[in-house]
Amino acid sequence: MNFDFSDEQQMLRDQARRFLGEKSSPQQVRRILEGEECYDAGLWQGMAELGWMGTAVPEEYGGIGLSHVDLCVIAEEIGRALAPVPFSSSVYLATEALLMFGSEKQKREIVAKLAMGELIGTFALSESNKPASQKNITCEVVGGKISGVKMPVPDGTISDFAIVVAKNGDSVGLYMVDLTSDGVERAEVDTMDPTRGAAKITFNAAAATAVGDGEASWDDVERVLDRAAILMSFEQIGGADAALEMAVDYAQNRYAFGRPIGSFQAIKHKLADVYVAGQIARSNAYFGAWALSNDAPELPVAAASARVAATDAYRIAAEENVQTHGGMGFTWEFDCHLYYRRSKNLGLAIGSVRRWKDMLVSRLEMRNAAEGSA
């Protein structure tokens, strides 16, 4: 298996890095963090003009028809730049869910607008602090009307619609709800990273349309989350790389006792550990990209592995970046907290790392049992 990127994908990476370097600098990220805007609308428009939202969307549905590996390349650069846009909720979750399970009409009308950046979508799953599971879903659809509460919903305050996981009788399915319609109330939820906001959404007999033929199941919900986990893992390793580079740069240029602090073992060994964690995450993410692009049977295990490794790597890198900067690393003026905030946000966006570790163990046990009986 070849997990490396092609020359064309390397060119795409370079283009994305240049664009985001200009449009999503730390100063511009801080403008969203410290201001009243929920996201950078100008950056979002620029990304739409480049076709990023439609990277892995087939041409017949308004996209540019590239592979999911190409989307992974872009996701990594978005993570590196801490881009304050609803890319993960609209592209990794809403778009992927509709591409997998939507009707032809939904793909041609809704996915096409998502691909062009004309609509922002999100995925409403969580309802409480409990891990998301079929038995914990209480939001319910009766007679085409949905009632219940979802919280937190990523980018829920700025999304035009949500793909909602809800009960319909004894089953659980996916339903599309216009978040500007009657019967929908949205309230902003305070988060550690305001550049990636969240909302509490209350549905009170709001109109709901089944995604596709209405036969989606909890297993299909897991499939959506698996795909998002792989894409998000690239965003996480991009952020982890940037945090490590910031720490290394400071360690090389900050002097103590007449020497760069990076020459001291207490610093260099810790940063080496960050690098190792990042490389482990990268190898898992690359395997996930291969599995996603080929829709391989290894995808569930690859997704859980990538999610766990990338979440741990970003957490370690963000924390050690703060520690390497010493007392200044805890100040508002230094950018260390920007990476720390984003690492926490992404680490909880589709379920905690503990949930994904449990899933990884169960999926490995199931795979081993299947191989043993073959």
Last residue of a domain, one of 188, 210, 232: 210
63 and 128 co-located in one domain: no
Coil, helix or strand at residue 202: strand
Query: Same domain, yes or no, for 231 and 199?
Result: no
Split at pLDDT 50, 70, 90, the class of 131 is confident
Per-residue pLDDT reduced to its tens digit, 187-209: 999 999 999 999 999 999 999 99
Q: What distance in Å separates the CA atoms of residue 43 and residue 117, rounded to the nearest whole number?
A: 11
Strand ranges (DSSP E) for the chain? 121-124, 140-142, 145-154, 161-168, 171-178, 184-189, 198-207, 209-210, 255-256, 259-260
**How would residue 257 be classed by pLDDT, with cut points 50, 70 and 90?**
confident
**Any domain includes 96:** no
Best CA proximity match to 182, nearest among 210, 166, 203, 163: 203
328 and 252 inside one domain: yes
Range of the domain at 142: 121-210
Residue 361 near residue 368, CB atoms below 8 Å? no
Q: Are residues 30 and 138 both part of a single domain?
A: no
> 356 in a domain, yes or no?
yes
356 and 228 together in one domain: yes
* Strand 140-142, strand 145-154: pairing: antiparallel
Same domain, 277 and 306: yes
* pLDDT of the residue at 130: 75
Confidence class for position 374, pLDDT limits 50, 70, 90: low
Does residue 113 sit within a domain? Answer: no
CA–CA dist 304, 359 (Å, integer): 7
Gap between the Cα atoms of 356 and 304, Å rounded: 6
E strands present in 208-330: 209-210, 255-256, 259-260
State the chain's mean pLDDT as an integer: 94
pLDDT mean over 49-68: 96
| Residue 154: per-residue pLDDT | 95
Please say if the pLDDT value at position 367 is more than 90.
no
**Does the residue 258 lie in any domain?**
yes
Where is 64: in which H helix or E strand?
A: none
Which of 67-71, 109-113, 139-143, 366-370 is predicted with the least confidence, judged by mean pLDDT? 366-370
The per-residue pLDDT for range 218-249, each reduced to its tens digit, is: 999 999 999 999 999 999 999 999 999 999 99
Most confident of 2-11, 250-259, 353-362: 353-362
- Is residue 100 domain-resident? no
Assign 135 a pLDDT band (cuts: 50, 70, 90).
Answer: confident
| Helix or strand run (H / E) with residue 45 | helix 41-49
At residue 301, φ and ψ (nearest 5 deg) are -70, -40
Domain end (from 70, 88, 106):
88
Give the percent of the chain with pLDDT over 90. 87
DSSP 78: H
Tokens of 299: 């995808």
Rounded to an integer, what distance in angstroms lies between the CA atom of residue 30 and that of residue 271? 26
Q: What is the pTM of this model?
A: 0.95
User: Which of 210, 243, 278 is at the close of a domain?
Assistant: 210
The answer to the question of residue 105 being in a domain is no
Greater pLDDT, 337 or 169: 337
φ/ψ of residue 337, rounded to 5: -70, -20
Distance CA 303, CA 287 (A): 9
Count the domains in the chain. Answer: 3
Whether residues 352 and 236 share a domain: the answer is yes
Task: Let me know whether 228 and 337 are in one domain.
Answer: yes
Same domain, 69 and 32: yes
- How sure is the predictor about 2, in pLDDT bands with cuts at 50, 70 and 90? low
Q: What's the rounded Cα separation, in Å, for the pair 329 and 319?
A: 10
* Residue 64: CATH number of its domain: 1.10.540.10
pLDDT at 148: 96
Distance in angstroms (rounded) separating the CA atoms of residues 161 and 176:
7
Per-residue pLDDT, averaged over 210-222, amounts to: 91
What distance in Å separates the CA atoms of residue 41 and residue 45, rounded to the nearest whole number? 6
CATH number, domain of 262, equals 1.20.140.10
pLDDT digit string, tens, across residues 322-336: 999 999 999 999 999
163 pLDDT more than 70: yes
> What CATH number is given to the structural domain containing 178?
2.40.110.10
Same domain flag for 38 and 160 = no
Instruction: At 313, give phi and psi (nearest 5°).
Output: -65, -45
Note whether 366 and 224 are same-domain residues.
yes
From the list 130, 127, 114, the residue with the least C-alpha distance to 203 is: 127
Outline where DSSP puts E strands in 220-330.
Answer: 255-256, 259-260
Domain-located, residue 303: yes
Q: What is the mean pLDDT of residues 260-281?
A: 93
Model confidence at 162, in pLDDT bands (50, 70, 90)?
very high
Mean pLDDT, residues 212-217 taken together: 88
Q: What pLDDT band is residue 44 in, cutting at 50, 70 and 90?
A: very high
Q: Measuring CA to CA, which residue among 131, 203, 201 is closest to residue 167?
A: 203
Alpha carbon separation from 223 to 96, 112, 228, 291 (Å, rounded)? 10, 22, 9, 13
Average pLDDT over residues 153-161: 97
Same domain, 369 and 225: yes
Q: Answer whether 177's CB lies under 8 Å from 203's CB.
A: yes
- For residue 111, being part of any structural domain is answered with no
